[in-house]
Each structure stands twice: as structure tokens, then as C-alpha cells.
Amino acid sequence: MSDLQKLFDTDPLSLTSQNLDELIAYYREARKNFNLEGKSAKPKAKAKVDSIDLDALLGGK
Amino acid sequence: MKANIAPSPFLPGTKIQYAWDSTSLGWLKQCPRLYEYSMIEGWRAKGTGVHLKFGQHYHAALELYDKLRVQENWDHDAALRESIKVALIETWEIFDNDPGLPGRPWDSEHSSKNRETLIRSIIWYLDTFKDDPATTLVLANGKPAVELSFRMELDFGGQYGEQPYILCGHLDRVVEFGGQKYVMDRKTTGSSPTPHYFDGFAPDNQMSIYTLAARVQFSTPVAGVIIDAAQIAVGFTRFQRGFTYRTEAQLNEWLADAKVWFAQAEAFAEAGHWPMNDKACGLFGGCVFRKVWSKSPDVRQTFLESDFERKPWNPLVPR
């Protein structure tokens, strides 16, 4: 069981401020990562397409 | 429990509704039969409670944060921590019949709307709008303008008795933004809040009522409503802010229409018949009662009772 899951499974009345800060820190990190993924998601580079020599393809006709 | 102490929204001994909110009026406008099943009879699809519960906890946490920040001058981190703590407590289920048993976390049985995504959404929203240029208005009594319940008596009633119609509801927050005042409404949705999503609020019954209430009941000349939409997904929560505006003339038009709708509701109640608007069955992803109404009237009750439960809706229940 992860530390996060333990926090969620604990009676909230017995959670300390430190526990709550750990929970908040976890989700802040997750948000940061989510935002970074969004910003780094650049459009994929166009696939390089070599020009085709139709004449060569058609046997010089 | 509150439902028991609130007065009935119907005139005594009748099915004539005098206290209306955006939800019940929305049902009537969409389809009189939908209104009959949802409002008059109080049927709800089983399992839809998760969306309501999630929304209630989300709103309550943000409301608490706003109050702590504005009324108590708490800093961001302290108010956030307290809001999270209360949200965790509110979503911790204890057994009323045996308080000695250990409690357990709320299990929504929903992949994207559950306790974990609720906590995540609260933290992400409050951090995203930590330095929000939309600031909460402070009312004349010194209290922050958050979670304002309103009951607005209209200057007309039905043809029975002297009871005037009442418009009621709850405003999430009233804010100042860019030199203008707005009602702010926070919404959670499973889909991406695109420009098309926000276009759906003009015209819109709920946003017109909110603007009207802010202007009349709270004497605040709001320009319209700011909608803070939260897309709740399994792995993330994404926020988008949209605006919808209302002029005085538009609100007067809305009120004139409402008067006709209320008279219609009265006529349906008198006749004891709420006709089906079968052109609306496919709207908004399909009516919840479509599966029932697609059956022959003589077998509908069986289908109704298997998939739905009675949970009466009362606009007069205070939040």
C-alpha cells in the first residue's frame, strides 16, 4: 500500500498537519508534472518525405 | 433531514408549484413529462448520486477556503490545508447505528469522480487560482459573498390564493473582475470545457436566474456569470474560465417568459397531465427517462421502479 493510500485510508480526524502537507505536496507535484507534460507536448515533427522520381518509378517512361 | 423541515414548494393540497429554482424550471422547460417525473413524483436514476455528492463536496471545500481567506484572513496554505482536512472528514463514512465501528472512506464506485480526484481537484483549483484577479466581494454585513442562498418573491402569483411565485437558489460566489461584478459559478464536468461548452450558457435558465438574483436580492449590479469549469478526468483535472453576460432587457424578457411557464405548469397541474415533449428525448445525451418512456405505458411502472428511486427535490431546502 502506498503512503498516499495510507493517508486516504486513515481516519481524517487523526491526520496531522504534516500528513495533510504530504498529501498536498503529492498533488502539487502531480500538477506540476501534468502542466510540464502539457507544455512539452509539441506537435510531432512532420515525417520526412523524400520526393519520388515518378519517371524512375515507372521505368523511365 | 433538511428536506423535512423545509416547507413544501407546492401550494397546500395541490401539485401547483410556487417556489421555483433553476433545476425545476429547467425540467419544465425541457419537457413537462420530465418535470412530472422529476419534480412532482421525485424520481431519480439510481447511481446518479455520485455526481451530486462530488459536486457538493467540491463546492463546500472551495466555499470554506473563500471564507477563511476573506473573513478570517488566513493565508493560502493554511486555508487550503483546512479545506482539505474538512473535505476528508466529510467524505469519511461512519456507521450511525454503531459508532464503535471504524469508519471508512467514501467509495463512489466511479473512476473519475471519487475521493482521491476530489482532493486533487480542490488542491489544483485553489493553487491554479491562488492569485485570482476575480476577488470575492464583501457584503455590507462584513461577510464574504460566498454560498448565498436566495429567495426572491416575484410581483406576480398564480390564479390561486395570494401566494406570489418565489425564485430560489444558491450563488457560489459574487466577485469583482476587471472593474465589473459577476456571479461566479463553479461546475464540474466529465468532458472538455470547450468554447462550445460555454456557448451553452447564453441563453441559459440557470445563469439568467443567478444574474437576476444578484441584482435584485443582493443589490449588486452584476454583468453576468463567470463559469469556472473543472474537467474531472481519471488522471487530471483541467480548469477553464468562461463568461456569460445578461442585459437588463434580457432579464426582463426572461421574467416575462417565466411568467408564462409558471402559468403552463399550473395548467398542467390542474389537468393532472404533463405532456411528453418527444422532440427533447434525445437532447443532452438522451433523457434519463427515455428507456422508461420507450416502453408501453402499461409496463412503464415496472421499469421505473427497477432503475429509479424516489428522492424528492425541494428548492426551498436551505443549503
How near does any CA of chain A get to the CA of B135, in Å? 23
Kindly state the helix (H) or strand (E) to which residue B307 belongs, with its residue range: helix B300-307
Phi-psi region of A60 (alpha: psi -120 to 50; beta: other; left: phi over 0): left
Mean pLDDT of B16-42: 98
Q: In this predicted structure, what is the pLDDT of residue B4?
A: 53
Mean pLDDT of B229-244: 97
B117 → chain A, closest CA residue: A27
Contact A27 B119 (CB under 8 A): yes
Q: In this predicted structure, what is the pLDDT of residue A46?
A: 46
**pLDDT at A49 exceeding the cut of 80:** no
Q: pTM (2 decimals)? A: 0.88
Give the range with max mean pLDDT: B214-223, B236-245, B280-289.
Answer: B236-245
Nearest CB to B92 within list A11, A20, A31: A11
Q: Give chain B's mean pLDDT.
A: 93
Q: In this predicted structure, what is the pLDDT of residue B7?
A: 95
**pLDDT at B5 exceeding the cut of 80:** no
Q: How far apart are CA B143 and CA B133, in angstroms?
A: 19
What radius of gyration do chain A's Cα atoms show? Answer: 27
Asked if A20 is an interface residue toward chain B (Cβ–Cβ < 8 A), one would say yes
With cut-offs at 50, 70 and 90, classify the pLDDT of residue B270.
very high
Q: In this predicted structure, what is the pLDDT of residue B95?
A: 78
Q: In this predicted structure, what is the pLDDT of residue A56?
A: 59
What does the pLDDT look like over B98-137, one tens digit per residue? 767 788 999 998 999 999 999 999 999 999 999 999 999 9
Q: In this predicted structure, what is the pLDDT of residue A58?
A: 56
Contact A24 B84 (CB under 8 A): yes
Mean pLDDT of A14-26: 97
Asked if A24 is an interface residue toward chain B (Cβ–Cβ < 8 A), one would say yes
With cut-offs at 50, 70 and 90, classify the pLDDT of residue A54.
low
Q: How far apart are CA B117 and CA B124, in angstroms?
A: 10
Cell 415496472 -> residue: B302
Contact A13 B89 (CB under 8 A): yes
Q: In this predicted structure, what is the pLDDT of residue A39?
A: 65
Per the CB < 8 A criterion, the answer to whether B17 and B197 are in contact is no
Segment among B17-26, B46-55, B192-201 with least mean pLDDT: B46-55
Q: In this predicted structure, what is the pLDDT of residue B145?
A: 92
> Helices (H), strands (E): how many in chain B?
11, 11
Segment among B47-61, B171-185, B260-274 with least mean pLDDT: B47-61
Contact B81 A8 (CB under 8 A): no
Per the CB < 8 A criterion, the answer to whether B157 and B264 are in contact is no
Asked if B102 is an interface residue toward chain A (Cβ–Cβ < 8 A), one would say yes
How near does any CA of chain B get to the CA of A3, in Å? 13
Q: What percent of chain B has pLDDT over 70?
A: 97
Q: In this predicted structure, what is the pLDDT of residue B94?
A: 85
Q: What percent of chain A has pLDDT over 90?
A: 54
3-state SS assignment for residue B169: strand
- Report ipTM for this prediction: 0.86
Q: In this predicted structure, what is the pLDDT of residue A52?
A: 52
Per the CB < 8 A criterion, the answer to whether B268 and B32 are in contact is yes
Per the CB < 8 A criterion, the answer to whether B57 and B105 are in contact is no
Q: In this predicted structure, what is the pLDDT of residue A44?
A: 47
With cut-offs at 50, 70 and 90, classify the pLDDT of residue A47.
very low
Contact A12 B88 (CB under 8 A): yes
Q: In this predicted structure, what is the pLDDT of residue A40?
A: 56
Q: How far apart are CA B312 and CA B319, in angstroms?
A: 15
Which amino acid does the sequence have at B304?
L
Asked if B178 is an interface residue toward chain A (Cβ–Cβ < 8 A), one would say no
Contact B120 A12 (CB under 8 A): no
Asked if B119 is an interface residue toward chain A (Cβ–Cβ < 8 A), one would say yes
Who's near B15: CB < 8 A, 6+ residues apart? B40, B269, B272
Cα-Cα-Cα-Cα dihedral of A3, B56, B173, B169, to 10°? 180
Question: Computed from CA positions of residues B142, B148, B149, B151, in that sequence, does the dihedral angle turn out positive or negative?
Answer: positive
Top-confidence residue, B318 or B48: B318
What does the pLDDT look like over B50-85, one tens digit per residue? 888 999 999 999 999 999 998 899 999 999 999 999
Top-confidence residue, B26 or A45: B26
